[in-house]
Amino acid sequence: MSTRPASQPACDLLSERFAAVRALTEALVMQLSDADATVQSMPDASPAKWHLAHSSWFFETFVLRDYVAVYTLHDERFPFLFNSYYEAEGSRHARAARGLITRPTLAEVMAYRAGVTAAVLRALPDLPNEAIALVELGCHHEEQHQELLVTDLLHLFSCNPLEPAVWAPAPKQPVAVPPPIRWIEGASGIVEIGHDGRGFAFDCEGPRHATLLAAHALADRTVTNGEWAAFIADGGYREPRHWLADGWAWVQAEAITAPLYWREGDGRWTRFGLDGRRAIDPAAPVTHVSFYEADAYASWAGARLPTEPEWEAAASAHDPHAGNFLDSGGAVEPRPSTSGPAFFGDVWEWTGSAYRPYPGFVAAAGAVGEYNGKFMSGQFVLRGGSCATPRGHARASYRNFFYPHQRWQFTGVRLAKDI
Amino acid sequence: MSTRPASQPACDLLSERFAAVRALTEALVMQLSDADATVQSMPDASPAKWHLAHSSWFFETFVLRDYVAVYTLHDERFPFLFNSYYEAEGSRHARAARGLITRPTLAEVMAYRAGVTAAVLRALPDLPNEAIALVELGCHHEEQHQELLVTDLLHLFSCNPLEPAVWAPAPKQPVAVPPPIRWIEGASGIVEIGHDGRGFAFDCEGPRHATLLAAHALADRTVTNGEWAAFIADGGYREPRHWLADGWAWVQAEAITAPLYWREGDGRWTRFGLDGRRAIDPAAPVTHVSFYEADAYASWAGARLPTEPEWEAAASAHDPHAGNFLDSGGAVEPRPSTSGPAFFGDVWEWTGSAYRPYPGFVAAAGAVGEYNGKFMSGQFVLRGGSCATPRGHARASYRNFFYPHQRWQFTGVRLAKDI
Amino acid sequence: MSTRPASQPACDLLSERFAAVRALTEALVMQLSDADATVQSMPDASPAKWHLAHSSWFFETFVLRDYVAVYTLHDERFPFLFNSYYEAEGSRHARAARGLITRPTLAEVMAYRAGVTAAVLRALPDLPNEAIALVELGCHHEEQHQELLVTDLLHLFSCNPLEPAVWAPAPKQPVAVPPPIRWIEGASGIVEIGHDGRGFAFDCEGPRHATLLAAHALADRTVTNGEWAAFIADGGYREPRHWLADGWAWVQAEAITAPLYWREGDGRWTRFGLDGRRAIDPAAPVTHVSFYEADAYASWAGARLPTEPEWEAAASAHDPHAGNFLDSGGAVEPRPSTSGPAFFGDVWEWTGSAYRPYPGFVAAAGAVGEYNGKFMSGQFVLRGGSCATPRGHARASYRNFFYPHQRWQFTGVRLAKDI
Amino acid sequence: MSTRPASQPACDLLSERFAAVRALTEALVMQLSDADATVQSMPDASPAKWHLAHSSWFFETFVLRDYVAVYTLHDERFPFLFNSYYEAEGSRHARAARGLITRPTLAEVMAYRAGVTAAVLRALPDLPNEAIALVELGCHHEEQHQELLVTDLLHLFSCNPLEPAVWAPAPKQPVAVPPPIRWIEGASGIVEIGHDGRGFAFDCEGPRHATLLAAHALADRTVTNGEWAAFIADGGYREPRHWLADGWAWVQAEAITAPLYWREGDGRWTRFGLDGRRAIDPAAPVTHVSFYEADAYASWAGARLPTEPEWEAAASAHDPHAGNFLDSGGAVEPRPSTSGPAFFGDVWEWTGSAYRPYPGFVAAAGAVGEYNGKFMSGQFVLRGGSCATPRGHARASYRNFFYPHQRWQFTGVRLAKDI
């Protein structure tokens, strides 16, 4: 992240932004019961209550504890409970056991949040620049947890045979199925990618650097549910030649036959979402597919996935704030595209690039240096942001990353090809 | 169970008993949050909410659905959620996923309970005898789940690093350490054991039958925490010769060094209980030990565990309702014995008998026939009842059973020897 | 085991017996390659080479090392490799890794055997009585390993898609399907069972003691392959009500649909045996069924399994050396019975009795005390001996034991019922 | 691979090469017993006998069966046994069960080899060009299996507590510890990498393409055992900040404290090798380290791993046939370097590059198209070749690949840094 000094108006802006981020997180859980917020449905996911507390722990630890002389911990036992993975911050509660913590209650965690929020707002005007930078980092960190909170909730509710809806469904508009993909030729030769240091970015987005692109084209939109249903109907999940070896092993071990949350009945596909179980919308982007599935689909379609540089070179011409995001209003789900090429929102797009450091990358110093760099093995990069991403959080240089089998995020597919 | 016809006063008595059982269950959860009642801490345990609902499902299914013409299911989706293991009742929610059901909420489950309770009370006067017998069975069934609800809660709270207390602690009275064990010679020759059919019993407690006992003696009390600490101090958990081979494998695989919930610090042992973490009481019966531990302790002590017939022959001379039970008032925990030999309450006592059918055993007909007989492999019998057992639930002929490694119930040890 | 003093003729007899046992073991492996004798097909089984060496280690350790002053270990590294489970003898090679020991070679192990055999024969005349008893124990121990060697080989060869035959097949005689089971009423009232101390027995077979039998009857023969095929055809493996709960879980987890080594093709059942794959013989006793299967079959047939005392009371009237044993000549496989009731040979018969100590049982002192007693949890007793048991090894009081899911031994079923 | 037509002298050359490759494989197993060649020590490894047969199956299937009209399969059951992972070739024996195949014997497999070798030699003059290309591919394929055969043997022998030597040790020459690493500046700007199509290469080595390099330097030699011992002594395996998150999880789950085959005793490190257990040579390259370890070491040393293009750009100036290879004579183990920078032989060098397709990569058509492309997820690239690689097999463009936790190959570390 950048560590520029903060002027007074910058500080006011940051206070506003900080308060808005905190408020959005709390809005997301307004309709949850204590139990909804406590249970963990799989080791990859965390309880909503944990997200609420962990994002507060981040501010409490790296800002209040380290930079506010008079601050006393809200509860001395919370750091053990709510540290996620920062080894430098000491031992911590086992990740897979986060769902066993029925106390503190949701109300107690909300009180913890309120205390931290107030303390940060009080402290902000007097914080040194490096602490200001940590508050800004903390806002982005909390935005990441907003998205996880939503996708973890969706997973939890999907495990309940009653399939309850988290939120009410949106009224459905009939939408024409989009026209076939159009191929847009990308830049070739030397291009620059990576964050240029103006405004906030995570450390892994830089340094900005030159890279060399061969001739290629990207699809003008992501793959739709209707196209995916055709892949299934063509035996896509039964034919090993489309699949990476690890992907095929995963398909067989887990008996995968469709995207996560899809179910077939009477020859029709439905999907489970935050508004319960409904028919798939053939015009909307497919989501909840793993990298293995994305790669297999591309192989079946005679194409491939974009690389990070190809994607970023194309996307940087577009507005990262236009699109279907968490705060778009209405249902949190991918929507059919209605106009020209879009790269942001709806679904994260799997790239074919393994998540590795850019040339010249150096992790940040201190505990926050554990933020990104240590995850640079075994994962693939996704780009663009989803319907569960807060709007301001998206950037052309943003590098999201997950393991190739994971698919409980809103993940989708854009095709690419050599030309 | 027995299936005698019910006279009118018998019906009134049963109504009273039914209402009392239902009320006690509800009293147990009064201080729980929705989250406390929803989370499952291990596959062996179930959420409190599940116990609340399952014990209602039992009455709804086997009494209301089958014997009350006008009854409509409270919710058609509940049988799938709240059937435990009755294969004849169709498919059901996976046991290990019971903790993922955040909806219905605790309040909704309490409403389910209230509906079932009212419907059963309304129906009782007109029920045929075999349904009356099922109501009686259902009361005993619910009492079993009262005990499980308490021990499952204890396990859940033990998984929280904050170690919250479920209930307030009892004031501690200083208690003299009990005198050494006295050996009481048991009956030998032909003795009769098993339930004689007067009053309620589970099917596995009969038929009453003759058995042959060799000369033997039983200890007049169970092993205490102080004695167990001596076993530990003597290297009891590090010396394979005391242990059954399967027990030794378990000790090594699970790194077992003390009873469940015990922890050492500064050379002193504490235990976690429903009142939080406290010092062990050396005079109180040891509890939360597995069959493997019980057997190893007996081997170390130069003794053995009692057999079922030995235990029952000795215990049948004592009052099964005297003792420290769930409804004794005060803390739910084993207490130091203050007078002569006692066989009921405080802790379930591991016997050396595998849980197998008595000669002439025939399982009950219908779905309730799955109640006991199908569990007759791999488990050992415990006798007597514990501090978490409802008082009226204990009987000399009662056969409780668990796998030899399980120890989250209030399980303890009485020694026996050949003479 | 008994520990009587040995007179000179007894010593000569023992020398003969010892030499014969050693020779039979070696005859069993004559047609095996080094590889056949080295590979381990599952943790429950051991390589033939290991059996060859372990049975030698037993004599070397408990007789030669402990009682022969001038004896030097054949190889100081062998005790670590070839101790099976004797904790008192120190650490040892992991059981599941026995198949990784390609050196020493089969030839080197045969040389080890020859050295131990010669040393024991040399030492025998001067051994004290307790060592003589250990030699006798060692012979019986080696006979147990002969049976395991044969059944482990069968399992190994069954894992090879080529399904090679260990030995040539026997010519098949057409055999009439046996008549329906006849029920033989057993003794009731007080009967004595257990070994009486005359001749050799393992410690777990005693003490001889009185027990009480209720009225019952046993089938005059074991269940046949033809009868088992009818159980399968009737949906026996698909109907949970026949099964113990643990058994049903095993059937589902392991997708069990028939006895081990059975396969269906073109509507006909074949089985794999030491002579390769062949059609099942409907008249021969079914074998390679687990306790769970045996219990389910009995339940389906409206019967139950015999208890240990019932079986022993009935069997003690019969000659334990008559029957189809390992040294019967011809194929090692169960054969159709041709005459009246028989209790020995062909297949081990599952009883309904858990393997637990008899009243008054005390394990032998020293390392050999680990022989039996420590296995007395979780297993069920089998009686009678099989086609892979050396003839002299069978006794009415013999207690074999395995876990309820195990079925790679020649295990079968005799029915019993209350009358 | 390339598919050029073969002229007559080219055919003679190929015959010679084919015969030499087949002979070298057989030389490697000359001192193995049938058992040594049959056992599988872990799922990642295969039995020597399987390597011998599989490399023959490759020629039999893709050359003889497909291109020689009169050819009859040596044994119709072998394709099921000896196909490795070619889905297009049908079902096959489970990888983890390869060690259970005691029949065919080693001798029978050698006969299979002889038959295939003779048939290929006979057929060669008349083969069409695409079959010639498959023979050439098969030679390279077999060379890969030569290396695996050696490393799999080493692993097997390491599992034997006797730690037998596969081959006799080489006489040790005292070697001066090498001077500190010197940094060699690499090319920057646009460079070309990838195979240019002249001579044989695997499909994944191409297409040749331009890439952009930033300023950097590579170490002139790989890390030594002495340097690695210093990393250990400095707590390298106990300090999470050096490690990737997945690497740290692996270190803790597997209790990793040193390279594979290292053991400490009396304060000194030894390693197990093909010549048994010996003291580590501080001057020799460290080997049997995983990617996680390589990355952690580089982090500890303030450096990083080279990328593929950096490595290839530097290495292409060096002779790939100079170095310590499988056919160097003497012990198969890494040796201290004695002169200037070397990039080939001794140890495979982990790069920081995930194994992914080059721009424009297209997998070969047909079953051999499963050779490389389908493994392009989750693995990292290694470069250079090891002491177990046949000499002619190394190339600057060669891309070897393994999972980041694997370390039973001869894998080592070269440092790189940005400048």
User: pLDDT tens digits, residue range D324-348?
Assistant: 999 887 789 999 977 777 899 999 9
Closest approach of B167 to chain A, Cα-based (Å): 14
**What per-residue confidence (pLDDT) applies to D177?**
77
Distance of alpha carbon B157 from alpha carbon C361, whole angstroms? 42
| Mean predicted confidence (pLDDT) in D400-417 | 98
Closest approach of B240 to chain C, Cα-based (Å): 7
- From the list C80, C99, C157, which residue is nearest D39 (CB)? C99
Handedness of CA D279, D282, D288, D293 (dihedral sign): positive
Closest approach of D376 to chain A, Cα-based (Å): 7
- From the list C240, C352, C376, which residue is nearest B244 (CB)? C376
**What per-residue confidence (pLDDT) applies to D3?**
41
Instruction: List Cα–Cα distances, B250 to B288, B295, B376, C62, C401, in angstroms.
Output: 15, 13, 22, 28, 20
Lookup result for tokens 């081997």 = B299
**What per-residue confidence (pLDDT) applies to B4?**
42
Distance of alpha carbon A250 from alpha carbon A327, whole angstroms? 34
Partners of B80 on chain A (C-beta within 8 Å) are 161
- From the list D212, D291, D353, which residue is nearest A211 (CB)? D212
Nearest residue of chain B to residue A159 (CA atoms): B100
Nearest residue of chain A to residue D370 (CA atoms): A241
Chain D residues whose C-beta is within 8 A of a chain C C-beta are: 33-39, 41, 77, 80-81, 93, 97, 99-106, 156-157, 159-162, 164
Kindly tell me if the per-residue pLDDT of D5 is higher than 60. no
Partners of D165 on chain C (C-beta within 8 Å) are none
Which pLDDT band holds residue A267 (cuts at 50, 70, 90)?
confident
Q: Do B161 and A81 touch (CB under 8 A)?
A: yes
Partners of B210 on chain C (C-beta within 8 Å) are 212
Q: Do A212 and D214 touch (CB under 8 A)?
A: no
Distance of alpha carbon A232 from alpha carbon A224, whole angstroms? 13
The predicted complex's ipTM stands at: 0.95
Token reading at C343: 């209790």
Nearest residue of chain A to residue D306 (CA atoms): A359
Partners of C77 on chain D (C-beta within 8 Å) are 161-162
- CATH class of the domain whose range is C8-158: mainly alpha
Kindly tell me if the per-residue pLDDT of C5 is higher than 50. no
Lookup result for tokens 């079968």 = C412
CATH architecture, domain defined by A183-418: Alpha-Beta Complex (3.90)
Of the candidates B298, B331, B328, the residue with the CA atom closest to the CA atom of residue B413: B298
Distance of alpha carbon A197 from alpha carbon A208, whole angstroms? 8
Kindly tell me if the per-residue pLDDT of C381 is higher than 90. yes
Q: Do B378 and C241 touch (CB under 8 A)?
A: no
Which pLDDT band holds residue B1 (cuts at 50, 70, 90)?
very low
- From the list A212, A356, A360, which residue is nearest D212 (CB)? A212
- From the list C39, C81, C105, which residue is nearest D33 (CB)? C105
pLDDT digits (tens, 9 = 90+) for B277-296: 999 999 999 999 999 999 99
pLDDT digits (tens, 9 = 90+) for C14-54: 999 999 999 999 999 999 999 999 999 999 999 999 999 99
Closest approach of A217 to chain B, Cα-based (Å): 45
* In chain A, % of residues over pLDDT 70: 97
**What per-residue confidence (pLDDT) applies to A60?**
98
User: What residues form DSSP beta bridges with C184?
Assistant: C218
Kindly tell me if the per-residue pLDDT of A24 is higher than 70. yes
Partners of B377 on chain C (C-beta within 8 Å) are 244, 246-247, 291-292, 295, 380, 404
Kindly tell me if the per-residue pLDDT of B208 is higher than 90. yes
Residue C108 and residue C75 in contact, taking contact as beta carbons nearer than 8 Å: no
pLDDT digits (tens, 9 = 90+) for B82-114: 999 888 888 999 999 999 999 999 999 999 999
**What per-residue confidence (pLDDT) applies to B5?**
45
Closest approach of B375 to chain C, Cα-based (Å): 6
Closest approach of B153 to chain C, Cα-based (Å): 25
Q: Do chains B and A touch (3 or more CB pairs under 8 A)?
A: yes
- Indicate the SS3 state at residue C242: helix
- From the list C243, C375, C378, which residue is nearest B378 (CB)? C378
Nearest residue of chain A to residue B104 (CA atoms): A162
- From the list C88, C357, C377, which residue is nearest B246 (CB)? C377
The one-letter amino acid at C199? G
Nearest residue of chain C to residue B91 (CA atoms): C240
Interface probe for A, chosen from D212, D213, D238, D291 (most Cβ of A below 10 Å), is: D212
Q: Do D87 and A248 touch (CB under 8 A)?
A: yes
> Which of the residue ranges B73-77, B170-174, B267-271 would you say has the lowest mean pLDDT?
B170-174
Interface probe for D, chosen from C100, C108, C155, C156 (most Cβ of D below 10 Å), is: C100
- CATH 1.20.120 in chain D is located at 8-158
Instruction: List Cα–Cα distances, B114 to B48, B98, B121, C352, in angstroms.
Output: 16, 22, 11, 44
User: What residues form DSSP beta bridges with A192?
Assistant: A210
Task: Determine how many CB atoms are found less than 10 A away from the CB of residue B41.
Answer: 23
Chain centroid, CA B210 distance in Å: 26
Name the strands in the sheet holding D183-185, side by side, starting at the edge strand that comes first in the sequence: D183-185, D216-219, D416-418
Q: Do D161 and C80 touch (CB under 8 A)?
A: yes
| Mean predicted confidence (pLDDT) in D190-208 | 95
Kindly tell me if the per-residue pLDDT of C218 is higher than 50. yes
**Half-sphere exposure for D195 (CA within 13 Å, toward CB):** 18
Kindly tell me if the per-residue pLDDT of D4 is higher than 60. no
**What per-residue confidence (pLDDT) applies to A7?**
65
- From the list B39, B160, B161, which residue is nearest A39 (CB)? B39
Q: Do D211 and A210 touch (CB under 8 A)?
A: no
- What average pLDDT does chain C have? 94
| Mean predicted confidence (pLDDT) in D386-407 | 96
| Mean predicted confidence (pLDDT) in B394-411 | 98
**What per-residue confidence (pLDDT) applies to C2?**
40
Interface probe for D, chosen from A91, A374, A405 (most Cβ of D below 10 Å), is: A374
> Which of the residue ranges C233-242, C261-270, C307-316, D2-11 would you say has the lowest mean pLDDT?
D2-11
Which pLDDT band holds residue B7 (cuts at 50, 70, 90)?
low
Q: Do D377 and A87 touch (CB under 8 A)?
A: no
The one-letter amino acid at B365? A
Q: Do A359 and D404 touch (CB under 8 A)?
A: no
> Which of the residue ranges A88-92, B305-309, C130-134 would you say has the lowest mean pLDDT?
A88-92
Of the candidates C19, C15, C5, the residue with the CA atom closest to the CA atom of residue C128: C5
The one-letter amino acid at B35? A
- From the list A35, A80, A161, which residue is nearest B105 (CB)? A35
Partners of C99 on chain D (C-beta within 8 Å) are 39, 99
**What per-residue confidence (pLDDT) applies to B347?**
98
Q: Do A352 and D356 touch (CB under 8 A)?
A: yes
**What per-residue confidence (pLDDT) applies to D363?**
82
pLDDT digits (tens, 9 = 90+) for B350-400: 999 999 999 999 887 777 778 889 999 999 999 999 999 999 899 999 999
Which pLDDT band holds residue D171 (cuts at 50, 70, 90)?
confident
- CATH 3.90.1580.10 in chain B is located at 183-418
| Mean predicted confidence (pLDDT) in B8-23 | 91
**3-class SS letters over chain D:** CCCCCCCHHHHHHHHHHHHHHHHHHHHHCCCCCCCCCCCCCCCCCCCHHHHHHHHHHHHHHHHHHHHCCCCCCCCCCHHHHHCCCCHHHCCCCCHHHHHHCCCCCHHHHHHHHHHHHHHHHHHHHHCCHHHHHHHHHHHHHHHHHHHHHHHHHHHHHHCCCCCCCCCCCCCCCCCCCCCCCCEEECCCEEEEECCCCCCCCCHHHCCCEEEEECCEEEECCCCEHHHHHHHHHCCHHHCHHHCCHHHHHHHHHHCCCCCCCEEEECCEEEEEECCEEEECCCCCECCCCCHHHHHHHHHHCCCECCCHHHHHHHHCCCCCCCCCCCCCCCCCCCCCCCCCCCCCCCCEEEEEEECCCCCCCCCCCCHHHHCCHHHCCCCEEEECCCCCCCHHHCCCCCCEEECCCCCCCCEECCCEEEC
Q: Which chains are adjacent to chain B, needing at least 3 Cβ pairs under 8 Å?
A: A, C
The one-letter amino acid at B62? F
Q: Do chains C and A touch (3 or more CB pairs under 8 A)?
A: no
Lookup result for tokens 């003729």 = C9
- From the list B87, B241, B354, which residue is nearest C87 (CB)? B241
Nearest residue of chain D to residue A214 (CA atoms): D359
Q: Do D156 and C37 touch (CB under 8 A)?
A: no
The one-letter amino acid at A397? S
Which pLDDT band holds residue C1 (cuts at 50, 70, 90)?
very low
Q: Which chains are adjacent to chain C, needing at least 3 Cβ pairs under 8 Å?
A: B, D
Q: Do D378 and A378 touch (CB under 8 A)?
A: yes
Partners of B34 on chain A (C-beta within 8 Å) are 33-35
Tally DSSP H helices, then E strands, for chain D. 10, 12
- What average pLDDT does chain B have? 94
Q: Do chains B and D touch (3 or more CB pairs under 8 A)?
A: no
